[in-house]
Amino acid sequence: MQTNYLLPNKYKILGWVLFIIGIISGFKIVFSDYEYEPIKAKVLSIFNEGFLGSTEMEYFKIIETGISSELASIAIIIGGLIIGFSKEKVEDEFIYKLRKDSLVWAILFNYLVLIITIIFIYDLTFFHVLVYNMFTPLLFFIIRFNFLKLKSRSHEE
């Protein structure tokens, strides 16, 4: 099966390492109510209107801020993408189909969950839903794909 967007199998471990480091530090940040900020850096802010428009709009400004949540997010996303899009040990048309089916399932399931949370969760609590929702499509995809792989491996004649 010709696929040109998949990484070699050896990258999968790197993906898991990044993903797990990202999730652990992500939870540490979330449970500290976003107070845990060990790393500070000067960054470029393309535009910023303050918290809910409290200050005037600012464009292209260098600001100093904590970047640990940014690093954690990027680790989860890059790690998750590598896990999902690196080749299996034996990559064939059936595995390709499982990957595609898992992606479709993950998108549908994610938005179903999001619709439910939009209806039933309000105010600032919904902000937490949005934070998790940045990562759930990837997470659901990885869980579904590995579940299907495991399921089709079992029951040898």
CB of 143 to other proteins, least distance (A): 17
Residue 8 touching other proteins (CB under 8 A): no
Residue 71 touching other proteins (CB under 8 A): no
Residue 92 touching other proteins (CB under 8 A): yes
Stretch of 23-31, 48-56, 93-101, 121-129 lying at the interface with other proteins (CB under 8 A): 93-101
Q: Using CB under 8 A, which of 66, 85, 87, 88 touches other proteins?
A: 88
Burial class from Cβ neighbours inside 10 Å (0-12, 13-18, 19+) for residue 49 reads exposed
CB 19 within 8 A of CB 75: yes
Residue 156 touching other proteins (CB under 8 A): yes
Residue 2 touching other proteins (CB under 8 A): no
Q: Which is nearer to other proteins, 45 or 152 (CB)?
A: 152
Q: Using CB under 8 A, which of 33, 56, 64, 157 touches other proteins?
A: 157
Stretch of 58-66, 87-95, 120-128, 129-137 lying at the interface with other proteins (CB under 8 A): 87-95
The DSSP annotation for the chain comes to ---SSPBPTTHHHHHHHHHHHHHHHHHHHHHTTT-----EEEEEEEEE--GGG-S--EEEEEEEEE-HHHHHHHHHHHHHHHHHTB--SS--HHHHHHHHHHHHHHHHHHHHHHHHHHHH--TTHHHHHHHHHTTHHHHHHHHHHHHHHHHHHS---
Binding mask 123-152 for other proteins (x = CB under 8 A): --------------------------x--x
- Residue ranges that bind other proteins, judged by CB under 8 A: 88-95, 97, 149, 152-153, 155-157
